[in-house]
Amino acid sequence: MIAPLVRTRGLSKTFGDEGELTHVLRSVDFELRPGELVLFMGPSGSGKTTFISIVVGVMRASGGRVELCGADITDVSQESAAALRRRKLGFVFQTDNLFPGLTAHGNVAEVLRMKGCSHVQERATEALEAVGLGHRLHHLPGQLSGGQRQRVSIARALASDPALLVGDEITAALDGEMAMRVMDVVRARTSSGRGALIVTHDERLLQYADRVVHMEDGRIRSDLSRRSARGVITGAP
């Protein structure tokens, strides 16, 4: 059987020390398979960002195991986690963290170079065109709107065609039409066997999901197909 792109078992995270421990994740079991687009929803502070930070290996768990693209990354070094991220992952975090001195095209091209990709120039252009930024290739981040910067981040994450896209609120700064355009690109990728794990409060994205995971107080409260989740979240039949 093909390995899941993400697999966690008993994942927990606490912050603080003996005096005052905050339990942010409590024994989270989760799997995402190739071809799936999974949304993580739930109240602010429920642990969604913490969860994906551990999944991509930029934060360590306090307990449990985490596998990314078939590799157990629970105890690996920062360097090994970074190498796996470069090979397999595209991620978009809440803050856009673009290189301020590089143009939109330069930002995408630089990440492609770091990943060792070929045809860097063409791929960077294509990725920016796919998110509607073909007319902003040579603008610096400071010359772009918040929504345009967000789309550069998305283009940067997708340009290398990674096995898994992990995103945190990737459509927050986008109007309806742009959000749909971006999600069409993400959906087309998952239809061809890639995976996507997206944290969001944006109910517009429900139509794209295969599954919707609802987190509350550090636990998975429900993990439902789109159809069932839609009814729960919107009250629709």
Ligand X SMILES: Nc1ncnc2c1ncn2[C@@H]1O[C@H](COP(=O)(O)OP(=O)(O)OP(=O)(O)O)[C@@H](O)[C@H]1O
Applying CB under 6 A, the residues found at the interface with ligand X are: 15, 22, 24, 44-50
Residue closer to ligand X by CB (options 44, 118) is: 44
Residue closer to ligand X by CB (options 42, 141) is: 42
Our separate counts of H helices and E strands in the chain read 7, 10
Q: At which residue do the structure tokens 């960002």 appear?
A: 49
Q: Shortest distance, CB of residue 96 to ligand X, whole angstroms?
A: 15
Residue closer to ligand X by CB (options 13, 156) is: 13
Q: Give 98's DSSP letter.
A: -
How many CA atoms does the CB half-sphere of 104 hold within 13 Å? 28
* CA torsion through residues 166, 116, 60, 9, sign: positive
Q: Shortest distance, CB of residue 168 to ligand X, whole angstroms?
A: 7
Q: Shortest distance, CB of residue 74 to ligand X, whole angstroms?
A: 19
CA distance 5 to 107: 26
Q: Shortest distance, CB of residue 216 to ligand X, whole angstroms?
A: 9
Residue closer to ligand X by CB (options 47, 132) is: 47
Residue closer to ligand X by CB (options 22, 192) is: 22
In the numeric block, which tokens belong to residue 34? Answer: 């190739």
Q: Give 166's DSSP letter.
A: E
Contact 189, 17 (CB under 8 A): no
Q: Shortest distance, CB of residue 18 to ligand X, whole angstroms?
A: 15
